Amino acid sequence: MPLRTLASGMLWASLTACAPSESKPHVDAAQTSSASATVARSGEAVPNRDEQTWFPDKRDVAISELFAALSTEADALGRSRGVRDEYDALRAKHGLPDDARLYADYLRVRLAFEATRAGGLWGLEWRVTDRLPQSDAVWTQWRAVAAPARGAAWPATTAIAECDELSALFAVVARGIGLSRRSQVGLFWPTSNHTVAVWIVGDAGDGRSVRVVVPTSQIFLDSAQSLGTDAFDPWRQPRIYDYGRRDIDANTTLPAPLARYFMAQVRRDGARSRGELQGLRNRREYEQRRAR
């Protein structure tokens, strides 16, 4: 079992992924504001010329190379006034200290969250899979993705995963792009049949630790909930283990066109406001469901 038994004694059988009869992904386009819907329609295709900025002349890109590029991009996103304002609001809410290393961790958590969430920047689609709570199958799907024909858009879905797989993927990416020892990311079960992730700040001052919910899908949430949602109480689970499993080797490769697409998506949309990103996410998930 890749995940240690929770301190509460919950057994693996009780940690099943989201049952379709008990899940309610809110992707109704009518719930997306007109402004956000306009943003979401304004260029789902990333021009090929923009994608060529990254990994020139490569046919394949190592995971370590992708993570290094994402780390650089995360730091660049930190120069956005809007991103900084969102961080300051989260910091004030949780009484977090204002220091550069913690901000760098936030940037990596935010980037990984927006990229790997269902309907997010990288085209993950939520479906029931009944696979283990790890991201191996996602990486396998990505390694087999073929680039679209010249001038064509990438598909709305690049890989399919369930809530626990999405949460593991988020943790792998967030750790891969460089979290400090102060931060941990782990899996959290707000109900017995659903998984999200949690970002734990282990030294928040005065001996406190802070838990920030990372809703990697909208299951059991309305369409407005995003990073730091209060809809789930992260302290309901006594202990959250840092997800340290290496789901993908750093030397494993992805097709270079896909890696370039991932980078272009982050560059184009990563600094958008939380509301705009949520509108994009909701629209993508709506389009994914229409395409089934």
pTM of the model: 0.87
According to the model, what pLDDT value does residue 50 have? 63
Digit-by-digit pLDDT tens for the chain (292 residues) are 333 333 333 333 333 446 543 344 444 433 444 434 434 343 444 455 566 789 999 999 999 999 999 999 999 999 999 999 999 999 999 999 899 999 999 999 999 999 999 999 999 999 999 999 999 999 999 999 999 998 899 999 999 999 999 999 999 999 999 999 999 999 999 999 999 999 999 987 778 899 999 999 999 999 999 999 999 999 999 999 999 999 999 999 999 999 999 999 999 999 999 999 999 999 999 999 998 8
How far apart CA 166 and CA 204 sit, in angstroms, is 27
The pLDDT tens digits of the residues spanning 30-75 come to 344 443 443 434 344 445 556 678 999 999 999 999 999 999 999 9
Q: What is the pLDDT of residue 18?
A: 62
